[in-house]
Every structure is written in structure tokens, then in C-alpha cells.
Amino acid sequence: MKISITKDIFSCSARSLFFLTAAVIIISTSSSALAAPASFNVVALGAKGDGRTDSTSAFQRAWSSACASSGASSNIYVPPGRYLLNRVLFRGQCKGHVTFKIDGTLVAPSNYHVLASIGKWITFSGVRGVSIYGGTIDGQGTGLWACKAAGKNCPFGATSLEFTYSRGITISGLTSMNSQVFHIVIHNCMNVNLQGVQVTASGNSPNTDGIHVEASTGVTITRAVIKTGDDCISIGPGTTNLLMENINCGPGHGISIGSLGKAMNEQGVQNVTVKTATFTGSQNGVRIKTWARSSNGYVKGVLFEDITMNNAQNPIIIDQNYCPHNEGCPGQVSGVKISDVVYMNIRGTSASQVAMKFDCSRKAPCSGIVLDNVDLTYKNKPALSSCTSADGSASGLVHPSSCLAA
């Protein structure tokens, strides 16, 4: 009887020990899974938020540490202040997702020659899983703009922020101001989400495209406010599956697909959508632009929907005779084939009498152009439309009257 009791007690104790051990393992595993991401403060690593001290090395140290962190994710924090950065390259691949939380302003050198000769300021290359939340980047490009306006011998300039050969990128709530040339460039990337981005530069600042997307797929741009001196958004060769929604543009040159067709062998542009956009005082509204030279490029599957024009210079335009300074293309025609482009629910005012202009290639005429509920006026009077080598259809209310060949 005693032996039996002892066995029962032992059996009970063993079971208790087993469950207790299992519980400890579960709690330990859960605690590990819920462990806070590693965090790296650039100030703790030597950055100075005084706008004068070069903080490039501190940012590089923060990136190297975060990138090498063994956890699933890590954070880099930039406190309030102005941080002077020279040329900086953040290279992947990292072990986990890296998030920048920026409460300060990143400032480029005031001497534009420092970056202009390199052509780039802040670059992320070959990264997978990077997020940027908040903050301002100031390219301090006004000096270079003045040099160009004076007709002096000036360098082209530097792009402020570029992602190249990367995927899984989020840029949220970032402000880019006074870039020397392009503000934000997405090149050879996949699955990029830009939301709540603001771009600010003078309306006469040259080559300061707000967001440029090229050779990339799965890019989404939403809730962007862009005021600049060149295209608010420009779309280069090899771009597919691009969505732009809730965009405010102006001043600027509008949203432009192109220029395309500068090279003979060039990737096409396909599945591009612009929805719920407003253009105010911009040089163009929605534009497709190709060089007047031979090319096997193409544009197809484009939708412009729910768009408001407020005194835009060229609200709807396809220009296949782009040839700046009449160099490299006089007497030639564009080989880029444009097809299946839909303009739906577009309304507002035009600053030019010709509110719709389809100047297509004689060699590769535009086809499948659709006008569906377009209502544009010029100084409270009817506007005009102009068509060259453009085929398509119209439905619903269309003002000015369609000139598309059936």
C-alpha cells in the first residue's frame, strides 16, 4: 500500500514537473517572440542636430548596426534637429526589416558642388524590407537653381532620395524640399508604397521631378501633395502595375508617362492608373510624352479617372513629337506604340484653348483611346480638341468634342 502511494505521489509530481517545464518553455518562447526590436538612436551614435556638424558617419553606424541585427526587425531613430549629411549609401541585404522613424530634418551640404558631381545624395540599394516614417529631407538646391537660371556652367545636380534594386519599401509622411534635381526616385524596385508624401520646390526649379518611377513594378503612390518645377510624377521605361491615387499637383508639369522612346530598344510601360487627382496651375495635367525617333517601346493599359483640372495649361495631352532643342530627332517620327488609354470623369478648366491634344505618331498611330465623361472649359468658353493619327471612341458628355477617328 505504501509502495502504491509513493508511486502515485511520484507519478503526480512528475506530471506536475512536466507541465511546469512546458509552461516555462512556452512563456520563454512567447517572451522571445514579443521582444522589442533593437533600436539605434543616431544621436547616441554621434550625430549632432545642429545643422552644421557632419553626421554621415553616425547614420552609417546606425544602419550597419540595424542591418546586422539578428531580430526580425530593428529601428533607427532620428530625434528632432537638423542633421547635416553628405553622400550616404545604405546597402542591403539586411537580416531583418529596418524602420527609420524620423522626427528631424536631414540637410544636404549648402555647397551644391559637394553632391552635384556625384549625382546622388541618399541612396538605398539592394534592400528588402525598409520603412521610412515622417521626417524632412532638405536638398538645399536653391543655389544650383540660381546658377542654372543665370546661364552659368553648372553641374546637373543630385537626386535627394533613391531606392534602387530593392523591394518591400514603405515611405510614409516624408517631406522632400528643395532638391537639387529629382526629389524621390524608385528604380528597378518591386512592391513600393509611398503614402502621405509631400514635395516642395519653386515652380521654376529645373529638373526637380517630385517622384520618378522607372523599371519598377507594384508601386503605389497615395495622398501625395507635390509642388515643384518639373513633373509632379514622372514614369519611365519598364514601369508596370503603378497606382497613383489622391494626388495634388501644382505648380509642376503634371503627371507624365515619359519621356519614352529615347533608346531604340526600350522596355514598355503598362497598367498605369491615376485616380482622384487635382491639378492646379500646372503646365500639364495628364501627359504621355515620347521622343520623335525610332523605338520599339510601347504604352498600353492606362486609366486616368476622377480628375479635376484647375487652370491646367494642357489638361489632356499625348505628345509624340518631343524633341528638345531639335537635337537627335529632327525629321524623325516616334516608334512608341500607344494603345488602350482611358480618360474617365475628367472635369475643370484649361489655361489653353486646346484642352485635349492627341499628337500621335504617323508611324505608330495611337489606338484604343477612350473618352468617357470629359468636361473641360477655357475661360468660361468652350475649349478645343486636336488630333493627329489618333483612333478611339467617346461616350457620355465629352467637351470639347472628340476629334478621335473611329
**Which residue numbers are catalytic?**
253
> Cα–Cα distance between 83 and 79 in angstroms, integer?
10
End-to-end CA distance of the chain: 103
Contact 223, 195 (CB under 8 A): yes
d(CA 85, CA 52): 9
| Cα atoms in the Cβ-side hemisphere of radius 13 Å centred on 316 | 36
In the block, cell 508624401 appears at 197
What are the backbone dihedrals phi and psi of residue 23, each rounded to the nearest 5 degrees, phi first? -65, -40
List C-alpha distances in Å: 330 to 116, 294, 322, 333, 334: 31, 12, 10, 9, 11
Between CA 299 and CA 372 the distance in angstroms is 20
Quote the CA–CA distance of 77 and 100 in Å, as a whole number: 6
Distance from the Cα of residue 349 to its chain's centroid:
27
Other beta carbons less than 10 A from residue 202's beta carbon: 15
The identity of residue 183, as a single letter, is H
d(CA 251, CA 239): 25
CB 362 within 8 A of CB 331: no
Beta bridge partners of 337: 298
**Which value, in Å, is the radius of gyration of the alpha carbons in the chain?**
27
Backbone angles phi, psi at 189, to 5 degrees: -125, 165
Identify the bridge partners of residue 90 per DSSP, sorted by sequence position: 124
* Cβ-count burial 242-256 (b if 16+ within 10 Å, e if not): bbbbbbbbbbbbbbb
On the CB side of 70, CA atoms within 13 Å amount to 3
Q: Is residue 280 within 8 Å of residue 307, measured between CB atoms?
A: no
Under 8 Å between Cβ of 121 and 158: yes
